[in-house]
Amino acid sequence: MLFGKRIAAIAAMATVTFGLSTTSKATDVTPLESKPTTTAKPALLGQEYHLRMHHLHTGEDIDVVYRIGNTYIPSALDKLNHFLRDHRTEDVSDYDPKEFDVLHQLMVSLGRPNGVIDIVCGYRTPWSNNFLRTRSASTGVAEHSQHMLAKAIDIRVPGISTMALRNAALALHAGGVGYYPISQFVHVDVGPVRTWAYR
């Protein structure tokens, strides 16, 4: 009898101290040590699209997976856009992601999926484009360059000749391909399919 009274007293104290009702169940109480549960985002599935690049003007390097399967990764695109900014003005633009796909496909076709691409020129503001066009009578810089639309990049690939790089880019039929053998770079863009050579 005494034992039963003690149990009743303890229950009453619990009701006052912890705000428990006599109908409370174990499932109504959150343990003090419990942590909030987080629902993990589903992992992206599919092929990883990877780019490694070195910028010849800024000296910067980037090594990034920018797409998985059919999904572009926004934070990776932001990094690429900053990396490819106009190095004269520091202006950043939003690149057409298809340009990155062309670079990726190009490196795969060359048998160098993890190779480094040297960047000669990325995005150009209208000011930079005009500056380059007016340096001399013949510069090879287009007045309405795809660089200003963030759809073009001038590149080299160490260990690959300029002609071999040009031929691999042409084989993709993905956009414009410009061949600059004296300056030793290839222009690749995702504008209309066309080709040209400059000196």
Which token pair is 9?
């007293």
Of 48, 110, 118, the C-alpha closest to 83 is 118
Distance CA 6, CA 116 (A): 77
pLDDT in tens, 78-88: 999 999 999 99
% of the chain beyond a pLDDT of 90: 64
- The Cα-based distances of 7 to 24, 43, 46 in angstroms read 16, 52, 61
- 79-88, 126-135, 138-147, 158-167: lowest mean pLDDT where? 138-147
Distance CA 175, CA 193 (A): 4
- Residue with the larger pLDDT of the pair 199 and 97: 97
Distance CA 99, CA 81 (A): 11
Q: Determine contact, residues 120/185, Cβ cutoff 8 Å.
A: yes
- Residue with the larger pLDDT of the pair 40 and 120: 120
pLDDT score at 187: 96
Which token pair is 95?
């690149």
pLDDT score at 199: 72
> At residue 192, what are phi and psi to the nearest 5 degrees?
-60, 150
CATH 3.30.1360.120 holds for 48-197? no
SS3 162: helix
Q: Model-level pTM?
A: 0.74
**Is residue 57 over pLDDT 90?**
yes
Distance of CA 15 to the CA centre of its chain: 57
pLDDT score at 171: 97
Q: Determine contact, residues 178/147, Cβ cutoff 8 Å.
A: no
Q: Determine contact, residues 55/87, Cβ cutoff 8 Å.
A: yes
- Residue with the larger pLDDT of the pair 138 and 16: 138
pLDDT in tens, 122-137: 999 989 887 777 776 5
Pairing of strands 152-156, 48-55: unpaired
Question: In sequence order, which ranges of 34-191 are alpha helices (DSSP H)?
Answer: 74-83, 97-109, 126-133, 162-172
Domain locations in the chain? 48-197
